[in-house]
Amino acid sequence: MKRWYVTFLTIVLFGSINSCSLNDDDSVNFHYEALQIISVEVPESFNVQQIYTIKVNMLRPDDCTLIEGFDVTQSDLTVRNVIAVGAILDKPDCQVVNQEVQDTFQFKVLYSEPYLFRFYTGEDANGEAQYLEVEVPVNQ
Protein backbone atom coordinates (compact mmCIF):
# COMPACT_ATOMS: atom_id res chain seq x y z
CA MET A 1 0.00 0.00 0.00
CA LYS A 2 2.84 2.38 0.81
CA ARG A 3 4.47 1.72 -2.54
CA TRP A 4 1.24 2.51 -4.40
CA TYR A 5 0.93 5.79 -2.46
CA VAL A 6 4.52 6.85 -3.32
CA THR A 7 3.95 5.92 -6.98
CA PHE A 8 0.70 7.92 -7.03
CA LEU A 9 2.38 10.99 -5.47
CA THR A 10 5.25 10.76 -7.96
CA ILE A 11 2.83 10.67 -10.89
CA VAL A 12 0.83 13.61 -9.52
CA LEU A 13 3.97 15.63 -8.86
CA PHE A 14 5.43 14.86 -12.29
CA GLY A 15 2.12 15.69 -13.97
CA SER A 16 1.77 18.99 -12.17
CA ILE A 17 5.33 20.02 -13.05
CA ASN A 18 4.81 19.16 -16.72
CA SER A 19 1.47 20.91 -16.89
CA CYS A 20 2.99 24.25 -15.81
CA SER A 21 3.72 26.24 -18.90
CA LEU A 22 6.81 28.34 -18.62
CA ASN A 23 7.03 31.51 -20.60
CA ASP A 24 9.62 30.65 -23.24
CA ASP A 25 9.36 34.12 -24.73
CA ASP A 26 12.75 35.73 -24.06
CA SER A 27 11.75 39.04 -25.60
CA VAL A 28 11.67 42.11 -23.39
CA ASN A 29 8.31 43.86 -23.29
CA PHE A 30 9.67 47.26 -22.21
CA HIS A 31 12.81 49.36 -22.33
CA TYR A 32 14.12 52.41 -20.50
CA GLU A 33 14.52 55.87 -21.98
CA ALA A 34 15.45 59.31 -20.72
CA LEU A 35 12.45 61.62 -20.55
CA GLN A 36 12.43 65.34 -21.32
CA ILE A 37 12.55 67.48 -18.19
CA ILE A 38 10.52 70.65 -18.65
CA SER A 39 10.99 72.51 -15.36
CA VAL A 40 12.16 72.00 -11.78
CA GLU A 41 11.48 73.34 -8.31
CA VAL A 42 14.47 73.50 -5.98
CA PRO A 43 14.91 75.41 -2.72
CA GLU A 44 16.49 78.87 -2.86
CA SER A 45 19.32 77.57 -0.67
CA PHE A 46 20.47 74.46 1.18
CA ASN A 47 21.75 73.72 4.67
CA VAL A 48 24.44 71.07 5.15
CA GLN A 49 23.18 67.66 6.37
CA GLN A 50 19.57 68.49 5.49
CA ILE A 51 17.41 66.46 3.11
CA TYR A 52 15.38 68.32 0.48
CA THR A 53 12.63 67.32 -1.92
CA ILE A 54 13.37 68.28 -5.52
CA LYS A 55 10.29 68.54 -7.76
CA VAL A 56 10.70 67.75 -11.44
CA ASN A 57 8.16 68.33 -14.22
CA MET A 58 8.68 66.10 -17.23
CA LEU A 59 6.96 65.17 -20.47
CA ARG A 60 5.14 61.85 -20.72
CA PRO A 61 4.86 61.52 -24.51
CA ASP A 62 2.38 58.63 -24.71
CA ASP A 63 0.30 56.23 -22.65
CA CYS A 64 2.97 53.51 -23.02
CA THR A 65 5.45 55.57 -21.00
CA LEU A 66 5.61 54.96 -17.26
CA ILE A 67 7.61 57.15 -14.91
CA GLU A 68 10.32 55.04 -13.24
CA GLY A 69 12.24 57.66 -11.26
CA PHE A 70 15.55 59.45 -11.62
CA ASP A 71 19.15 58.69 -12.34
CA VAL A 72 21.22 61.19 -10.35
CA THR A 73 24.95 61.00 -10.95
CA GLN A 74 27.79 62.98 -9.45
CA SER A 75 30.13 64.43 -12.08
CA ASP A 76 32.08 66.64 -9.67
CA LEU A 77 32.06 67.27 -5.92
CA THR A 78 28.85 69.34 -6.02
CA VAL A 79 27.68 68.83 -9.60
CA ARG A 80 24.74 66.47 -10.15
CA ASN A 81 23.39 65.30 -13.51
CA VAL A 82 19.73 64.37 -13.27
CA ILE A 83 17.90 62.25 -15.83
CA ALA A 84 14.22 61.38 -15.59
CA VAL A 85 13.79 57.70 -16.49
CA GLY A 86 10.76 56.25 -18.20
CA ALA A 87 9.85 52.62 -18.80
CA ILE A 88 8.47 52.39 -22.32
CA LEU A 89 6.08 49.49 -22.91
CA ASP A 90 6.66 47.82 -26.27
CA LYS A 91 3.09 47.99 -27.57
CA PRO A 92 1.93 48.82 -31.08
CA ASP A 93 -1.08 50.89 -30.03
CA CYS A 94 0.38 53.72 -27.91
CA GLN A 95 -1.67 56.90 -27.86
CA VAL A 96 0.10 60.28 -27.87
CA VAL A 97 -0.73 62.24 -24.70
CA ASN A 98 2.14 64.80 -24.31
CA GLN A 99 1.24 65.04 -20.64
CA GLU A 100 3.27 67.05 -18.16
CA VAL A 101 3.77 65.00 -15.00
CA GLN A 102 5.57 65.77 -11.76
CA ASP A 103 7.72 63.48 -9.66
CA THR A 104 10.15 64.12 -6.83
CA PHE A 105 13.40 62.83 -5.43
CA GLN A 106 15.14 63.35 -2.10
CA PHE A 107 18.54 65.02 -1.98
CA LYS A 108 20.87 65.18 1.02
CA VAL A 109 23.34 68.07 1.17
CA LEU A 110 26.80 66.88 2.17
CA TYR A 111 29.09 69.76 1.18
CA SER A 112 29.19 73.47 1.97
CA GLU A 113 29.93 74.56 -1.62
CA PRO A 114 27.07 75.56 -3.97
CA TYR A 115 25.45 72.67 -5.85
CA LEU A 116 24.97 72.72 -9.61
CA PHE A 117 22.14 70.54 -10.89
CA ARG A 118 22.12 69.68 -14.59
CA PHE A 119 18.65 68.42 -15.57
CA TYR A 120 18.50 66.57 -18.91
CA THR A 121 16.02 68.26 -21.27
CA GLY A 122 16.65 66.24 -24.44
CA GLU A 123 18.92 66.50 -27.46
CA ASP A 124 19.41 69.29 -29.94
CA ALA A 125 19.29 68.88 -33.75
CA ASN A 126 22.88 67.57 -33.72
CA GLY A 127 22.15 64.91 -31.12
CA GLU A 128 23.94 66.79 -28.34
CA ALA A 129 22.50 66.48 -24.82
CA GLN A 130 20.89 69.66 -23.49
CA TYR A 131 20.52 70.55 -19.81
CA LEU A 132 18.61 72.94 -17.61
CA GLU A 133 21.22 74.12 -15.10
CA VAL A 134 20.26 75.32 -11.64
CA GLU A 135 22.75 76.39 -8.99
CA VAL A 136 21.72 76.26 -5.33
CA PRO A 137 23.87 78.01 -2.73
CA VAL A 138 24.58 76.37 0.62
CA ASN A 139 24.13 78.43 3.80
CA GLN A 140 27.20 78.68 6.00
E-assigned strand segments in the chain: 30-35, 37-41, 46-47, 51-62, 65-76, 79-89, 96-108, 115-123, 129-136, 138-139
User: 3-class SS at 3?
Assistant: helix
Domain 30-139 is found in CATH 2.60.40: yes
Within 8 A by CB and 6+ apart from 60, the residues are: 35, 67, 86, 97, 98, 99, 100, 101
pTM score above 0.85: no
Write out pLDDT tens, residues 42-53. 999 999 999 999
Within 8 A by CB and 6+ apart from 99, the residues are: 59, 60
Per-residue pLDDT of the chain (140 residues; tens, 9 = 90+): 545 444 444 454 455 445 444 555 556 699 999 999 999 999 999 999 999 999 999 999 999 999 999 999 999 999 999 999 999 999 999 999 999 999 999 999 999 999 999 999 999 999 999 999 999 999 98
| Distance in angstroms (rounded) separating the CA atoms of residues 58 and 37 | 4
